[in-house]
Amino acid sequence: MTYKLDNIEITDIQLDELIAQREANKFEYPLYKRWAYNGEIVKFTSLEHGEVVVQDKDNFHEIGYIDSFIPHTHTSWEEIPYNKKRNLFHTQAVECWDNINTHYRGLAFYNAINDCTFTYSGKLNDAVYGNYKSIPLDKVPDWMNEARATLKK
């Protein structure tokens, strides 16, 4: 069967292909992606728009920089795990503590794959805490930004 809409003809097969393509391009935002060339991490809110959440090694974009980027479907973007429930991405700097610790909070990197923290030596699995709070991205100490690059992801 052929359909006509605004002087455009389309067949059933073409319509099915367009629907399949649209379904394949659905993404649940936000998405966190790392640019392979420089390590910059962007929180995408649409295919091409996002916010820098981790600065690249050359400090080209400031944290919080919002703009259009090369679409996140490009092969140079690497997906970063994201825990939607906690609103934390993999390798994000966090404060962590348990409710029984009334006078202690630790600084660590969040492991979104296993819902825990990285070890103090940068290995993937360490402690599980009851509470995680992201450190404001522009307040992460320089030593943590340098250490992030050495994590064994």
Residue 18 covered by a domain: no
Query: 54 pLDDT band (50/70/90 cuts)?
Result: confident
Cα separation values, 147 from 71, 97, 125, 133, Å? 28, 21, 16, 19
Give the per-residue pLDDT at 19: 64
Averaged pLDDT, 80-103: 93
Joined tokens for residue 90 = 């993999």
Q: Which residues constitute the domain of residue 135?
A: 88-148
Residues 6+ apart with CB under 8 A from 121: none
What is the C-alpha to C-alpha distance for residues 95 and 129, in angstroms, rounded to an integer? 10
Give the number of domains in the chain.
Answer: 2
pLDDT of residue 16: 67
Same domain, 75 and 35: yes
Asked if residue 7 is part of any domain, the answer here is: no
Residue linked to tokens 């307040």: 139
| Higher local confidence (pLDDT), 128 or 62 | 128
If asked whether residues 75 and 43 sit together in one domain, one would say yes
pLDDT at 60: 75
pTM for the model: 0.76
> Is residue 96 located within the same domain as residue 59?
no
Select, from the ranges 13-27, 56-70, 99-113, the one with the highest average predicted confidence (pLDDT). 99-113
Confidence class of residue 17 from pLDDT cuts 50, 70 and 90? Answer: low
